[in-house]
Chain A
């Protein structure tokens, strides 16, 4: 499978715990995006990277959230001190500025449940 992959697919955690999600973009896609989607809503933009540089962060991304893409390939999204309101689907997407920079391909998502 050469599409965007995410791990884990599901995560259940207790309030106050830290969680980390991983996204592997399509090979050679230099742009990577993180979104959050709650039930009945469209995906909400969180942050995006061009290569290893984090170019933009949404105001939705509180200081408990941090994202990295150290080598410009896979990315991690960490949530510290999780709250029940963090329960959502976390989606990753990638695109390439050598093809069509604006066409994003989504991963299957990581569904987080905070108890």
Chain B
């Protein structure tokens, strides 16, 4: 069945460092892999997505890489800032299957 595993569940970094979150999926049917940021008490917000016809996509300090052979995709945040602190979810597919989230804490 559809499943996506997300690691790590918590991540603490110093301001200015990079953060990497990885997700592994089980089914090759989908070609769409979004990442969402959810701040406490707020709605999930799409921050970046990637489709299977590309291996990497970048938007300022955020990048996503996709390895279809290994069935994993990763979120990379560079030059982290305290306002990056939130829960990040990977998702898979059009009727999105979500990972369990990574709580990122950026310490000033």
Contacts and interface: CB of A to CB of B under 8 A. Distances in A.
A33 B96 CA distance: 10
Contacts of B36: 106
Contact of B43 (A42, A44, A108): A108
A107 B43 contact: yes
Interface stretch (A20-28, A60-68, A96-104): A96-104
A102 B42 CA distance: 21
A44 B98 contact: yes
A106 B100 contact: no
A35 to B, nearest CB: 8
Interface stretch (B44-52, B61-69, B76-84): B44-52
Nearest to B49: A103
A42 B101 contact: yes
Interface in B68-108: 89, 91, 93-101
B94 A101 contact: yes
A97 to B, nearest CB: 10
A48 interface: yes
A102 B32 contact: yes
Nearest to A47: B95
A3 to B, nearest CB: 9
Interface of B: 6, 32, 34, 36, 42-46, 49, 89, 91, 93-101
Given A42-B100, A105-B46, 6 more contacts: A40-B100, A43-B89, A48-B95, A103-B34, A103-B49, A104-B34
The 4 closest A-B pairs by CB, nearest first: A42-B98, A106-B43, A102-B32, A102-B94
